[in-house]
Amino acid sequence: MLRAAKPDAQARQGKLHVPILGHSRPVVSVAFSDDGVRVLSGSSDNTIKLWDAATGALIRTFEGHSNVVSSVAFSPNGARVLSGSFDYTIKLWDAADPHLRGALQAGQFGGLCRQILKVRTGYLNWAPPGLRGGR
């Protein structure tokens, strides 16, 4: 179960706000949109799901990876979704629909996709707000 919380007193106290249910296997990665309105989750069910952070409602599911989705990220404007998987691919999706926009084959580099997205997002020119402008 994925749990989302509004940025209010309840959330600051670590209390559950909205349970988010929908993946058939464990959730491995989670990312909030910059505006805090949407949540992405990547799972060992090989899917990415987009959720409404306030209600926990499922907006859409992205399918196309053949192994665990180990990393998810929004583009800075929220229009695109990026996912990394243990299938050695990094995939680019439109956030507004479940269509695949492109893919990169990472090769046989173990956790490269996970590391690029979680540690070195700047290599893909998408950095978390606190890391923009540097590595």
For residue 123, what pLDDT is reported?
36
- Between 103 and 112, the more confident residue is 103
Q: Is residue 128 part of a domain?
A: no
- Between 129 and 31, the more confident residue is 31
Closest CA to 29 of 15, 44, 18: 44
Mean pLDDT of 74-90: 89
Q: Is residue 132 part of a domain?
A: no
**91: pLDDT strictly greater than 70:** yes
pLDDT tens figures, 6-24: 445 555 565 556 677 889 8
Q: How far apart are the first and last CA of the chain?
A: 32
Go through 102-121 and write b for each residue having 16 or more CB atoms within 10 A of its CB, e for each that does not: ebbebeeeeebbbbbbbeeb
d(CA 29, CA 116): 13
For residue 111, what pLDDT is reported?
47
Q: Is residue 135 part of a domain?
A: no
Q: Is residue 134 part of a domain?
A: no
Q: Is residue 60 part of a domain?
A: yes
User: Furthest-apart CA pair in the chain: how many Å?
Assistant: 45
Domain extent for 20: 2-120
We report the CATH number of the domain holding residue 36 as 2.130.10.10
d(CA 20, CA 7): 16
Average pLDDT, the chain: 75
For residue 81, what pLDDT is reported?
92
For residue 45, what pLDDT is reported?
94
Count of structural domains within the chain: 1
